[in-house]
Amino acid sequence: MRKRLIYMALIVTLFVSCEEYYTPDLDEVPGLLVVESHLTNDPSQNYVRLSMAQGFYSQETTEKIVGAKVELVEVGSQVMKATETSTGYFTFPQTPVVGRTYLLRITYGKDIYESESAIMPPLPQIDTLYTRHKIAKYYRTNAYGIPDLIEIPEREIYIDAPITEKLEYYRFTWKAIIQWFYNPPALEGPPPPSLYGWKTRYDNGLFNLAGPKEFSNSDKVRNHPILSLNYDGKIYLDSATQIPSGWIVIIDQYGITK
């Protein structure tokens, strides 16, 4: 009996030790400027957002940049000044021209920051768009804490895109809108008209990138996955009374530099 108690005490000690939290010491770099920018041929999507770096465990709100100047410089030509529409957020009155070379210049305090120069790529094209049946595999923890394999049938959207001398790399973003309707019950007389609505899913800022494979001479990006949708649209809706009636999928394709 005494041996059993010793073994049980050892087991409990092991379990408790597994619950300890480890907080690593991370180097902090105070005062580091963070630049987030997006420049395309669509003026509504062009912006530069400036902020200051924070510690990994910091609970403070992100420090905004005040008094900075942002410029888009066409190499060997004109300089386009950005307009600060809100604190630390800048937009441009014009768009870059395909085939010309640009760099981003930021002046903040006594410091001047410049990006590497890049050529504005041409407008991209989707060669082919198609869908395929797919069995998606996920792991879900059960009531006993054990991961169970879940297989879900889905429809996945793929694209093919050309690879040319001037455009080899792409980025894709998407927005999927599911339409639903609801048939209210008839309490008296004829049934009331159906109600319609929409719910939108986003890619949540994922970087879906495509380009030529290493050591490949292919002239095309092939079978590149964009997104998957479950056949059962009800899993995306908020109520069992909502009936799915179709999807609208919007795909934005960007030509990018390497």
Residue with tokens 């669509």: 42
How far, in Å, CA of 113 to CA of 35, rounded? 10
Residue 6 has pLDDT above 80, yes or no: no
Per-residue pLDDT, averaged over 125-142, amounts to: 90
pLDDT of residue 12: 45
pLDDT of residue 79: 94
Residue 5 has pLDDT above 50, yes or no: no
Q: Quick: pLDDT tens for 8-59.
A: 444 444 444 444 555 556 566 566 888 999 888 888 889 999 988 776 555 6
- Neighbour count for residue 178 (Cβ, 10 Å): 21
pLDDT of residue 59: 61
pLDDT of residue 219: 82
Starting from the edge strand earliest in sequence, which strands make up the sheet with 128-141, in order?
128-141, 147-162, 220-230
Q: Which of 15-19, 175-179, 225-229 has the lowest mean pLDDT?
A: 15-19
How far, in Å, CA of 97 to CA of 103, rounded? 13
Residue 98, H or E segment: none
Per-residue pLDDT, averaged over 229-252, amounts to: 94
For residues 199 and 236, the answer to whether their CB atoms sit within 8 Å is yes
Provide the token pair at 19.
Answer: 């619950």
pLDDT of residue 10: 43
SS3 annotation, 26-56: CCCCCCCEEEEEECCCCHHHCEEEEEECCCC
pLDDT of residue 191: 85
Q: Quick: pLDDT tens for 113-122.
A: 999 998 999 8
**What's CA 104's distance to the chain center, in Å?**
23
The DSSP line for 105-144 is EEEETTEEEEPPPEE-PPPP---EEEEEEEEEEEEEE-TT
Give percent of the chain above pLDDT 70. Answer: 83
Residue 173 has pLDDT above 70, yes or no: yes
For residues 53 and 27, the answer to whether their CB atoms sit within 8 Å is no
For strands 47-52 and 89-91, give the pairing.
antiparallel
How far, in Å, CA of 127 to CA of 162, rounded? 6
How far, in Å, CA of 140 to CA of 197, rounded? 31
Nearest to 99 by CA among 126, 63, 74, 80: 74
Per-residue pLDDT, averaged over 243-258, amounts to: 91
Residue with tokens 């770096």: 53
Q: Quick: pLDDT tens for 57-108.
A: 556 666 778 889 999 999 988 999 999 999 999 999 999 999 999 999 999 9
Compare 188 and 85 and report the one with higher pLDDT: 85
Residue 229 has pLDDT above 70, yes or no: yes
| pTM given for the model | 0.72
